[in-house]
Amino acid sequence: MAAAETLVASLQDVYTRWEPVIGLEVHVQLLTQTKAFCGCPNVYGAPPNTNICPTCLGLPGALPVLNRQAVEFATLAAAAIGCEIRETSIFARKNYFYPDSPKGYQISQYDKPIAEHGSLTVPTPAGPKRIGITRLHMEEDAGKSIHDGFADSAIRTYVDLNRCGTPLVEIVSEPDLRTPDEAFEYLTLLKEILLYTGVSDCNMEEGSLRCDANISLRPRGQQQFGTKAEVKNVNSFRFIRAALEYEILRQAELLDAGERVVQETRLYNSAEGRTYSMRSKEAAHDYRYFPEPDLTPLIVSPAWKAEILSRMPELPEARRARMIADYGIAAQDAATLTNSRALADQFEVAAKSARSPRRVANLLNSEIISRLRLKNLELEQSPVSMAGLAKAADLAESGDLSSKQLKQLFDICFETSEDFPAVYEREKPQQISDTSALEAIIDEVIASNPKQVEQYRGGKKTVAAFFVGQAMKASKGQANPALLGDLIAKKLDA
Ligand SMILES: [Zn+2]
């Protein structure tokens, strides 16, 4: 049995006895211009310790001033995931000591977060499932400890405080997830929605979206939760799914042997495909939360809330439904096209000018996506723009290009990284639109396939497609397909 099948079989076996209970905590950096409580630029990748000031360094006497845009982004994100916005929320100090947090505390929210009681509905094999969202609260990020990359990294750790004070929202789910696949779907949907709202770039490699997962097992049918372990710092959704699968098998093995799961924080090592213990939770910090004395309560008045929510874009699910209705495209095509807001926007512009929006969508899925996969590119990196694709679709629709010619042109686009119109203008394939030349080809095809001619004349009109295919092949893909179809029908009906 292949490794993947063994894993699936082992998980299925565990599921007959144990039910996983999974909750997710997602940290999302907000794309504000400046930091949460000071005027330092909020940018990624600046030289270390250049975007800092007395406030984000926590120097004595420096006072925080709340960033209005951070509140607006948090409110927009919260509403997009169905949360109720609290009119008065309170910032709190979360006290802990760590080298990348010079203040010795983090400004966060505790018992009165800005938003609560949201949900997402994720697809599962048993149909759509509602996953509760406990809360969304605002907080600030810490700096970064740098353990490698320096000549003396073996004996020293460096610290970059640029990230200190970057505005975050933390989104905490209810423990409603039951499988690693559900966790994966939840995260995918959450990221998609956040990207649509524009509040974050959700770039996991740069740490703009980070996820911690809590997981425990309980005997099937039992209400009470088992002891959970927390898996931290996993930097892709695929790895989170793998880490959860690993944890389910690890915890089941312990419990089956009559042992206890230890409540602890674990790290996932993607190279080894396993988690290992980082620190025991029993020894975890007591954060000694108390209201932040340097900030007044945050008030999002009904008028301000309404103003913020008036900027809510159409969210992915609604957009998919509308695009299916507006353009007559398939659900699968709509799913691909709404991958990102930018792509959906581009498609809609292209679709409005194209003769057949449906053909634009078809070409994207049949010709572009596969070529992107081969080159390991994202849709945003495609050399063929949506406008270029619309032109290609029009040329196919009018019969000026055969599907074989289209394929060749797309191949060139991907080889040379040029958009379709440029390649088309240069390479403009020679098309045989000369009626007598086409008729000669058709006569030959008809003469060498008497059986199919008989079928056609016996009433099986769909055989016409066979002749079009054969004649197209004989013309080396250069016949004008529309003209070819007409001529073949005429010849066969004669
Ligand atoms: Zn600052």
pLDDT digit string, tens, across residues 74-109: 999 999 999 999 999 999 999 988 889 999 999 999
User: What Cα–Cα distance (Å) separates residue 84 from each residue in 113, 310, 474?
Assistant: 11, 16, 65
* CA 30 – ligand 1 centroid, Å: 16
Length of the chain: 494
Looking up tokens 């913020």 gives 308
Binned at pLDDT 50, 70 and 90, residue 431 comes out as: confident
CA of 55 to the centre of ligand 1 (A): 5
d(CA 323, CA 320): 5
Distance 158 CA to ligand 1 centre (A): 19
- Grade residue 405 by pLDDT with cuts at 50, 70 and 90: confident
Please give the distance of CA 30 from its chain centroid, rounded to a whole number.
17
Residue type, 452: Q
The rounded Å distance from CA 114 to ligand 1 centre is 23
Tell whether the torsion through CA atoms of 278, 135, 192 and 35 is positive or negative.
negative
Question: Cα of 97 to ligand 1 centre, how many Å?
Answer: 19
Please return the burial class of 18, using the count of CB atoms within 10 Å of its CB with bins 0-12, 13-18 and 19+: buried
- Paired sense of beta strands 88-89 and 91-95, if any: unpaired
d(CA 425, CA 378): 26
pLDDT at 461: 85
- How far does the centroid of ligand 1 lie from the alpha carbon of residue 70, in Å? 15
* 3 Cβ neighbours under 8 A, 6+ residues apart: none
Measure the CA–CA gap between 356 and 419, rounded to whole angstroms: 20
pLDDT digits (tens, 9 = 90+) for 208-217: 999 999 999 9
For residues 366 and 368, give the distance between their C-alpha atoms in angstroms, rounded to a whole number.
Answer: 6
Distance 311 CA to ligand 1 centre (A): 28
Q: What is the pLDDT of residues 243-275, one digit of tens each?
A: 999 999 999 999 999 999 988 889 898 888 888
Q: What is the DSSP letter of 260?
A: P
Is this model's pTM higher than 0.85 or not? no
- The reported pLDDT for the residue numbered 478 is 79
| Contact assessment for residue 175 and residue 194, using Cβ atoms and an 8 Å cutoff | no
| 396-400 mean pLDDT | 86
Run of H or E including 92: strand 91-95
Q: How many CB atoms lie within 10 A of CB 483?
A: 16
Give the helix/strand (H/E) hosting 3.
Answer: helix 3-17
pLDDT of 21-71, one tens digit each? Answer: 999 999 999 999 999 999 999 999 999 999 999 999 999 999 999 999 999
Q: How far is the CA of 140 from the centre of ligand 1 (A)?
A: 11
Question: pLDDT band for position 281 (50/70/90)?
Answer: low
What is the per-residue pLDDT for 285? 64
- The count of other CB atoms within 10 Å of the CB of residue 407 is 14
419: three-class secondary structure by DSSP? coil
- Mean residue pLDDT across the chain: 91
C-alpha to C-alpha distance for 467 and 11, rounded to whole angstroms: 52
The CA distance from 198 to 76, in Å, is: 9
Q: Are 433 and 407 in contact (CB under 8 A)?
A: no
**Distance between Cα 296 and ligand 1 center (Å):** 19
How far is the centre of ligand 1, averaged over its atoms, from the C-alpha of 137 (Å)? 21
The helix or strand, by DSSP H or E, that contains position 233, with its residue range, turns out to be strand 229-234
| Rounded CA Rg of the chain | 29
The encoded tokens of residue 143 equal: 């700096």
The whole-angstrom distance between residue 329's C-alpha and the CA centroid of its chain comes to 21
